[in-house]
Amino acid sequence: MYNIRDKRKTIDESIGKFFKKLLGIRILKTAVATALALYLAKTFDLRIPMMAGLSAIVTMKSSIFDSYKTSVNRLLSTSIGGLLGVLFHQIHFIGFVPMMIGIIIIINLCNYFKWKDSITLAVMVFVMLIMYNPSPPNFMPYWEYAIHRLFDTFVGLAVGFFINYFIFPPNRWEVIRLTYVKSLKEMEDTLIAILEGEKPNLSSLISDVSKINTEFENIFKDKKLGDKFNVETSKLAKINSKFFSGIGIIIQFAEDGRVPILSIQNKKGLSKYFEEDLVFESEVFASDFESAFNYYLDDLLIIMTELREQINK
């Protein structure tokens, strides 16, 4: 019976989830990194402190490798755009036509060196420098503006990256485990819906494939940044393979839409897996279809059982 104690427990859990979401580790780290970057910029009298704060924000990613990649791309962008902008100022090649030529040079340069992630920001820095018109009382020559922009950006990137790396770095094991738990639950719900004759929405299940691939890729990349992020990718690859096989079978069932008479073995298997007696309405179809369906359903139950055991480990 639902009593006051159960209601109180539900409320406590909801409040806990709210504050956990409100004050998550990544949120706190972003706030700390931004405040620290701005504090250092003010303390050392950096000329463009806002760049330090903004750079610290964009560096705080869910993956350490993504933080590193963002830092490198932002430094490359600022350097390329700044250097070309200074060069154009130096030779007095300023105006809308030079701006167009400079943008073309930057895009081709980044494409040639495969720095495609740096193109947008490099162009923005270049345009801002070309349009920069120093004026008193805060006079700052264009070359000095470029240097300060690069240095202030570096300070923010360094602060953001090191805070993300050393202070409660993303727990890749926990992230991939939660992804697996959610994906397996959706596999189970979708299978039950199919067996009950419903037309399930496969969008969430299909997106799980992308999420699993993304997390696996993040883990593989993070391993390059030190032993503290070392996760046995060979084990995860085997689990991923089972997920993809299981999801493929479920999608095949859903697209076909027919549920034949289940074999006694599969009825027992379903009851054992879901730990309850399950009864489904079924239709009589050709024996070859019935055999094929039960064959794949048996295979799916084996896959899901193995996945549950491996996730629990």
Tokens of 283: 């239709």
pTM for this prediction: 0.70
Summarised one tens digit per residue, pLDDT across range 136-171 is: 666 788 889 899 999 999 999 999 999 998 888 877
Strand partners, 283: 260
How far apart (Å, rounded) are the C-alpha atoms in residues 273 and 3? 31
**64 and 169 in contact (C-beta within 8 Å)?**
yes
Sketch the domain layout of the chain as residue ranges.
Answer: 7-166, 172-312
Confidence of residue 253 (pLDDT cuts 50, 70, 90): very high
Summarised one tens digit per residue, pLDDT across range 97-148 is: 999 999 999 999 999 999 998 999 999 999 999 998 877 666 788 889 899 9
In this model, does residue 300 exceed pLDDT 50? yes
Torsion of CA 189, 190, 191, 197, to 10 degrees: 110
How far apart (Å, rounded) are the C-alpha atoms in residues 183 and 206? 10
Cα 312 versus chain centre, distance: 23
How far apart (Å, rounded) are the C-alpha atoms in residues 215 and 41? 35
Q: Which of 70, 36, 66, 30 is nearest to 52 (CA)?
A: 36
User: What is the structure's pLDDT at 137?
Assistant: 64
